[in-house]
């Protein structure tokens, strides 16, 4: 018989894939219709004018325009304003 114990397996070595959450288009930047402004888990940032929230709480633009972040009653909102040339 071999006099060597079996090597124990490590309990470490696992890590989840990153979810790529966060702000994708920042304040005063141009955005196209339907593009993602923010990817988030839960409503950390709320939807404002000319935006909508998808099933996974991502905020999208409804129109082509300029992104604007603002605070109202201690909540952060995002709106998209029309661009007139």
Looking at residue 20, the DSSP 8-state letter turns out to be -
pLDDT digits (tens, 9 = 90+) for 16-66: 999 999 999 999 999 999 999 999 999 999 999 999 999 999 999 999 999
pLDDT given for residue 11 in this prediction: 84
Domain ranges of the chain: 22-81
Task: Give pTM, 2 decimals.
Answer: 0.81
pLDDT attached to residue 2: 64
**What does CATH list as the number for 22-81?**
2.40.50.100
60: left (phi over 0), alpha (psi -120 to 50) or beta: beta
Nearest to 76 by CA among 24, 33, 27, 30: 27
pLDDT of 10 strictly over 70: yes
Query: How many whole angstroms separate alpha carbon 19 and alpha carbon 52?
Result: 21
- Please tell me which residue, 50 or 7, carries the higher pLDDT value: 50
The DSSP bridge partners found for residue 69 are: 78
Residues 82, 66: Cα–Cα separation, whole Å: 7
């Amino acid at each position: 018989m071999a006099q060597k114990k079996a090597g124990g397996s490590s309990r470490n070595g696992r890590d989840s894939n990153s979810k790529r959450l966060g702000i994708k288009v920042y304040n005063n930047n141009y955005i196209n219709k339907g593009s993602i402004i923010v990817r988030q888990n839960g409503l950390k940032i709320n939807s404002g004018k000319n935006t909508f929230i998808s099933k996974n709480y991502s905020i999208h633009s409804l129109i082509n325009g300029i992104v604007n972040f603002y605070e109202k009653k201690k909540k952060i909102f995002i709106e998209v304003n029309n661009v007139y040339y």
